[in-house]
């Protein structure tokens, strides 16, 4: 049982480039989330999904897109990367609302 797996762990992007952060979970969780973590700012929700085919915006969705075609996968797409998107990104899943969040190991993204 691998839990929540994110790739890549580290990535450096140039301004204007695009990329996809991959997230997979093998716990059959319906709920999946993408957070970004900036120093001293806690965790901010970017997008979330309550099941395959359903996604919704969180607190800071601008500049990002997501899709949820399967229960297992929840990729995060960055279009036209900007320095403000330099951050650590965490994918998380839970079996239900108001339950424990299981986080991936994080992906450190730098935009130069």
Partner 1 sequence: GENVEQHPSTLSVQEGDSAVIKCTYSDSASNYFPWYKQELGKRPQLIIDIRSNVGEKKDQRIAVTLNKTAKHFSLHITETQPEDSAVYFCAASLTGNQFYFGTGTSLTVIP
- Could you list the residues that contact partner 1 (CB under 8 A)? 31, 33, 35, 40-45, 48, 50, 56, 58-59, 90, 94, 96-101, 103-106
Q: Based on CB atoms, which residue is closest to partner 1, 56 or 79?
A: 56
Sign of the torsion angle spanned by Cα atoms 7, 23, 17, 15: negative
Q: Which is nearer to partner 1, 81 or 94 (CB)?
A: 94
| 50 φ/ψ sector (left φ>0, alpha ψ -120 to 50, else beta) | alpha
CA angle 29, 18, 110 (to 5 degrees): 85
Q: How far is the CB of 59 from partner 1 (least distance, A)?
A: 7
| Closest to partner 1 by CB, 28 or 40 | 40
């Amino acid at each position: 049982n691998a839990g929540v797996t994110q790739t890549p762990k580290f990535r450096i992007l140039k301004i204007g480039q695009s990329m996809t952060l991959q997230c997979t979970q093998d716990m059959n969780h319906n709920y999946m989330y993408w957070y970004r973590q900036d120093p001293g700012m806690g965790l901010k929700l970017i997008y979330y999904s309550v099941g395959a085919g359903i996604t919704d915006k969180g607190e800071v969705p601008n500049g990002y897109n997501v899709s949820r075609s399967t229960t297992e996968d929840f990729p995060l797409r960055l279009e036209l990367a900007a320095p403000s998107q330099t951050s650590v990104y965490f994918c998380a899943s839970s079996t239900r609302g108001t339950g424990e969040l299981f986080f991936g190991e994080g992906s450190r993204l730098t935009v130069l």
